[in-house]
Amino acid sequence: MRSMDHQSNRVVALTIAGLDPSGGAGAIADIRTFVALQCFPTAALTSITFQNTTGVFGMAHQSVATVRSQIDVVVQDFPVAAAKTGMLPTVEIVSEVARLFRETGLPAPVVDPVMVSTTGHSLIAKQATEALRNELLPVARIVTPNIPEAQQLAGISIANETDMRRAAEMIQQLGAKAVLVKGGHLSLRSKDAVDILINEAGEFIEFREQFVEVGEIHGSGCTLSAAIAAGLAKGLSLEGAVSEAKEFVTKAIWALRVEPRLGHGAGPL
């Protein structure tokens, strides 16, 4: 039976991520996505960033105890059907979040390995990247790196779809059940936007869409991973959840071609 919150018939989804006060990325983007896909949203904040569509101007990280307490009270009150992680800025926070997924009833998370903002600002300590590789990926249901993130996690350069498949295999070998390597950073070289999924059985599945040129987009990775978590919360298969999430994000990107852009920098999705 799917997990429901006790106030509605919506399934409960949890995001563990940073706060982007401009709303384009991070926990606010996740919450907007959960609601749009008929999930009841819950959230634990790992960091309060000072950013907008033009850049990141600072941040104040939460303590391990604060992050743990936020998650604990949600788990005690709600049957969480799916979870995702976003910005986990320190070694201590990565380790604690990984421990909570190992030792509580939380479902294996969708891990969006957030490392660098759209505008190029580092969002994670260098040492925390290793903790993410060694502690969080082994408990992940699926990891959703973009090309730069996949290069860091796999330790290889990625120039084409063959490299994407190789990186996906290498990241899966770190312990993740499945990996979705997002090919958006390669799309300017072709007419297609290609994401490559390696599932639990080691099978590759391509998600190929027409590339939509709308300039820099703020929060597309957060939105995609949240949409995958929403699909899993509703009981979709992994492939079904990724497919629904891709469709959701693609429609949002197409809408940017006709809607007025908000902000003065990378357009929020």
User: DSSP assignment of 197-264, as one string?
Assistant: EE-TTS-EEEEEEE----S-EESHHHHHHHHHHHHHHTT--HHHHHHHHHHHHHHHHHHTTTSPPPSS
Tens of pLDDT, residue by residue over 8-67, are 568 999 999 999 998 889 999 999 999 999 999 999 999 999 988 888 899 999 999 999
pLDDT value, residue 67: 98
pLDDT value, residue 214: 57
User: Closest Cα partner for 219 from 43, 57, 17?
Assistant: 17
CATH topology of domain 11-268: UDP-N-acetylmuramoyl-L-alanine:D-glutamate ligase (3.40.1190)
Looking at the DSSP bridge assignments, the partners of residue 268 are: 218
**Dihedral angle at the C-alpha atoms of 12, 18, 20, 23, nearest 10 degrees?**
-10
Top-confidence residue, 5 or 162: 162
User: Closest Cα partner for 176 from 132, 125, 227, 221?
Assistant: 132
Domain range list for the chain? 11-268
Tens of pLDDT, residue by residue over 51-105, are 888 888 999 999 999 999 999 999 999 999 999 999 999 999 999 999 999 999 8
pTM check: above 0.85: yes
Whether residue 266 has pLDDT greater than 80:
no
HSE, side-chain direction, 13 A CA sphere, residue 136:
32
Q: Which residues of 80-96 are buried (b: 16+ CB within 10 A; e: fewer)?
A: bbbbbbbbbbbbbbbbb
Mean pLDDT, residues 243-250 taken together: 93
Note whether 141 and 236 are within 8 A (CB). no
φ, ψ for residue 87, nearest 5 deg = -70, 115
Tens of pLDDT, residue by residue over 182-239, are 987 665 555 677 999 999 999 999 998 766 665 566 678 999 999 999 999 999 999 9
Whether residue 1 has pLDDT greater than 90:
no
Tens of pLDDT, residue by residue over 151-172, are 999 999 999 999 999 999 999 9
Q: What is the DSSP letter of 119?
A: T
Tens of pLDDT, residue by residue over 99-143, are 999 999 899 999 999 987 666 667 788 889 999 999 999 999 999
Decide: residue 122, CB within 10 A, 0-12 exposed, 13-18 middle, 19+ buried.
exposed
